[in-house]
Amino acid sequence: MTDIVSLLIARLGAEQVLTGPDMSPYSRDWMDAYHWTPLAVVKPRDTAQVAATLKWANETGTPVVPISGNTGLTGATSGDGAIMLSLERMSAIREIRPEARVAIVEAGAILSDIHAAAEAHGLIFPLTFGARGSARIGGALSTNAGGSNVVRYGSTRDLCLGLEVVLPTGEVMDLMSELHKDNSGYDLRHLMIGAEGTLGVITAAVLKLAPKPLAYATAMVAAPSIDQALVLLNRLQAETGRAVEAFEYMPGTYIKAHMKRFPEARAPFDEAHDINIMVEIGAIAARDATPLPDGTIPVVAQLETILAEMFEAGLVRDAVVAQNEAQRAEMWARREAVAEVARLHTPSIDHDIAVPLDKMQTLVDTLDARARALDPDITILSVAHLGDGNLHFNGWPSTDDPAVHSAIYEAVEDTAMALGGSFSAEHGIGLMKKSSMARRKSPEAIAAMRAIKTALDPRGILNPGKLLPET
> Count of domains in the chain?
4
- CA–CA distance, 228 with 391 (Å, rounded to integer): 17
In a domain, 468, yes or no: no
- 7-22 per-position pLDDT tens digit: 889 888 899 999 999 9
Instruction: Kindly tell me if the per-residue pLDDT of 1 is higher than 80.
Output: no
The answer to whether residues 223 and 229 touch, using CB atoms and an 8 Å cutoff, is: yes
In a domain, 365, yes or no: yes
Examine the fold and report which residue of 52, 86, 120 is the final residue of a domain before the chain moves on. Answer: 86
H/E run at residue 27: none
Q: What is the pTM of this model?
A: 0.94
- 104-121 per-position pLDDT tens digit: 999 999 999 999 999 999
Examine the fold and report which residue of 291, 323, 338 is the final residue of a domain before the chain moves on. Answer: 338
- CA–CA distance, 34 with 77 (Å, rounded to integer): 9
- CA–CA distance, 132 with 112 (Å, rounded to integer): 5
- The CA-CA-CA angle for residues 446, 434, 193, to 5°, reads 65
Instruction: Kindly tell me if the per-residue pLDDT of 33 is higher than 90.
Output: no
Instruction: Kindly tell me if the per-residue pLDDT of 130 is higher than 90.
Output: no
Confidence (pLDDT) at 439:
93
Task: Please tell me whether residues 247 and 302 are part of one structural domain.
Answer: yes
Q: What is the residue range of 307's domain?
A: 215-338
In a domain, 147, yes or no: yes
Task: Please tell me whether residues 293 and 407 are part of one structural domain.
Answer: no
**Residue 47 pLDDT class (50, 70, 90 cuts):** very high
**Residue 205 pLDDT class (50, 70, 90 cuts):** very high
- 401-415 per-position pLDDT tens digit: 999 999 999 999 999
- CA–CA distance, 85 with 53 (Å, rounded to integer): 9
DSSP, collapsed to helix, strand or coil, labels residue 280 as strand
User: Mean pLDDT, to the nearest integer, of 155-179?
Assistant: 97
- CA–CA distance, 68 with 90 (Å, rounded to integer): 10
The answer to whether residues 197 and 79 touch, using CB atoms and an 8 Å cutoff, is: no
Instruction: Kindly tell me if the per-residue pLDDT of 343 is higher than 90.
Output: no
Task: Please tell me whether residues 321 and 233 are part of one structural domain.
Answer: yes
Residue predicted with more confidence, 73 or 219: 219
Task: Please tell me whether residues 174 and 230 are part of one structural domain.
Answer: no
Task: Please tell me whether residues 333 and 219 are part of one structural domain.
Answer: yes
Task: Please tell me whether residues 221 and 193 are part of one structural domain.
Answer: no
User: Mean pLDDT, to the nearest integer, of 378-404?
Assistant: 96
Task: Please tell me whether residues 399 and 414 are part of one structural domain.
Answer: yes
User: Within 10 Å of residue 27's Cβ, how many Cβ atoms?
Assistant: 17
In a domain, 148, yes or no: yes
Strands (DSSP E) found in 44-146: 64-67, 83-86, 93-97, 102-106, 123-124
Percent of the chain with pLDDT over 70: 100
In a domain, 316, yes or no: yes
Instruction: Calculate the alpha carbon distances from 420 to 49, 359, 426 in Å.
Output: 44, 9, 16
- 244-288 per-position pLDDT tens digit: 999 999 999 999 999 999 999 999 999 999 999 999 999 999 999
Give the DSSP letter of residue 22: G
User: Mean pLDDT, to the nearest integer, of 48-76?
Assistant: 93
Confidence (pLDDT) at 3:
80
In a domain, 471, yes or no: no
CATH number for the domain that contains residue 80: 3.30.43.10
304: amino acid identity, one letter: E
Instruction: Kindly tell me if the per-residue pLDDT of 471 is higher than 80.
Output: no
Task: Please tell me whether residues 255 and 299 are part of one structural domain.
Answer: yes
CATH number for the domain that contains residue 243: 3.30.70.2190
Alpha helix ranges (H) inside 273-376: 286-289, 298-312, 325-336, 338-342, 360-374
CATH number for the domain that contains residue 143: 3.30.465.10
**Residue 73 pLDDT class (50, 70, 90 cuts):** confident
In a domain, 288, yes or no: yes
Confidence (pLDDT) at 4:
80
Task: Please tell me whether residues 410 and 334 are part of one structural domain.
Answer: no
**Phi-psi bin for 241: left (phi > 0), alpha (psi -120 to 50), beta?**
left
**Residue 445 pLDDT class (50, 70, 90 cuts):** very high
The answer to whether residues 303 and 281 touch, using CB atoms and an 8 Å cutoff, is: yes
Examine the fold and report which residue of 86, 101, 128 is the final residue of a domain before the chain moves on. Answer: 86
Task: Please tell me whether residues 238 and 317 are part of one structural domain.
Answer: yes
- CA–CA distance, 113 with 151 (Å, rounded to integer): 23
Task: Please tell me whether residues 167 and 272 are part of one structural domain.
Answer: no
User: Within 10 Å of residue 3's Cβ, how many Cβ atoms?
Assistant: 10
**Residue 5 pLDDT class (50, 70, 90 cuts):** confident
Confidence (pLDDT) at 173:
98
The answer to whether residues 439 and 448 touch, using CB atoms and an 8 Å cutoff, is: no
In a domain, 328, yes or no: yes
Confidence (pLDDT) at 16:
93
Task: Please tell me whether residues 318 and 363 are part of one structural domain.
Answer: no
- CA–CA distance, 415 with 422 (Å, rounded to integer): 10
Confidence (pLDDT) at 208:
98
